[in-house]
Amino acid sequence: MSSSTAQQDLTAYVNGAFVPLEDATIHIEDRGFQFADGIYEVVACFGGNFLDLQPHLERLQRSSEGVRIPLPCSLNHIAELVQQTYERNPFKDAMVYIQITRGAAPRSHLPHGELTPTLIITSRLLPKPSDAKLATGIKAITLQDIRWKRCEIKSIALLASVLGKQEAALKDADEAFWLDEEAHVLEGCSTNILAVIDGALVTHPLDHQVLGGITRNMAIRVAKEHGLTVVERPWKLSEANLTEAMMSSTTNAVMPIHCINEQMIGDGKPGKLTMQIRSWMLEAMDALRSA
Ligand code: PDD
């Protein structure tokens, strides 16, 4: 099925019921709508088998604890609902979206009493990077980080990321990467970033400035399994011997970056290690399809 599949063919899970996507609505006083008071996850499924579902669910739990929104049900039950949402929709390779908000209540910053969290789950076609983008690598820009200081939480408050993506698009780029005050490269609006410096895979350590990407972890894992050196440390674009850069996310696996701020990375072509790591990751995804 294509991404143009009619809306009426799609099914969403909303607070205890599976409903046609067109009829899937929430209250206008939902705190997710009014305060971005919520958290989310995006999980990829290949031919019926989810990639790293457990780590995604564990991150959802950490996010829920980080913002004090109780999970509406157990992680096991959420896993079942995720599976059922996938099965009720027509996509073999899908990205399943899970969002939990604090619930609906008359608007007041301080939440009063026990609210019932809102849980919605949708399944959409997993977007694939185009062959053209893979052949050249993507173009990116950098921006000063204007986000909040709890980026390890997967919060639905994504206005800074929306603005960053717009800035990138205005410059004909695909992603904007956030820089800290000292110009260390943190992560993208919806991706992590890894570089190859002196032959080692380098990426910012996990702290409050970056999301602990599940795909970042996978890239690190496969790199280590194949004997590559991985270093988690702050790094800059100006470092000598920086030969490759790649971004990682659930919807991209890893994607080569060929230029940042109009400056070529390495020889301006997708990096060898980048494409090697990508192919190791795609092998694992193919294995899920045929499992
Ligand atoms: N974005 N950093 C940020 C800020 C992100 O929003 C994401 C994911 C990542 C990569 O995380 P993961 O590898 O777990 O997908 C890093 C998702 C896909 C989104 O918002 O659609």
pLDDT in tens, 130-168: 999 999 999 999 999 999 999 999 999 999 999 999 999
The pLDDT value recorded for residue 8 is 59
Query: Which pLDDT score, from 0 to 100, does residue 166 have?
Result: 98
Angle between helices 53-66 and 75-87 (to 10 degrees): 130
Residue 154 is among the residues annotated as catalytic for this protein: yes
| C-beta of 15 in contact with ligand 1 (< 6 A) | no
Q: Is the CB of 190 under 6 A from ligand 1?
A: yes
- List of residues 6+ apart from 190 with CB closer than 8 A: 161, 165, 175, 249
Q: Which of 56, 39, 55 is nearest to 118 (CA)?
A: 39
| Residue range 231-258, pLDDT digits in tens | 999 999 999 999 999 999 999 999 999 9
What class has domain 3-125?
A: alpha beta
> What is the CA(106)–ligand 1 centre distance, in A?
31
Query: What's the gap in Å between 200 CA and the centre of ligand 1?
Result: 23
State which of 57, 246, 250, 255 you would mutate to test the pocket of ligand 1, scoring each by most atoms of that ligand within 8 A of its C-beta: 250
The protein residue with its alpha carbon nearest to ligand 1, atom 9, reads: 191
Write out residues in the chain with pLDDT < 70, as ranges. 1-8
Q: What is the CATH number of domain 131-289?
A: 3.20.10.10
122 lines ligand 1 (CB under 6 A): no
- If one residue of 95, 146, 211, 248 were mutated to test the ligand 1 pocket, choosing by the most ligand atoms within 8 A of its CB, it would be 211
pTM of this prediction exceeds 0.75: yes
- pLDDT, residue 1, reads 46
CA distance 233 to 189: 20
Find out whether the beta carbon of 53 lies less than 6 Å from any atom of ligand 1. no
Predicted confidence (pLDDT) per residue in 194-205, tens digit: 999 999 999 999
Domain-by-domain residue ranges, the chain?
A: 3-125, 131-289
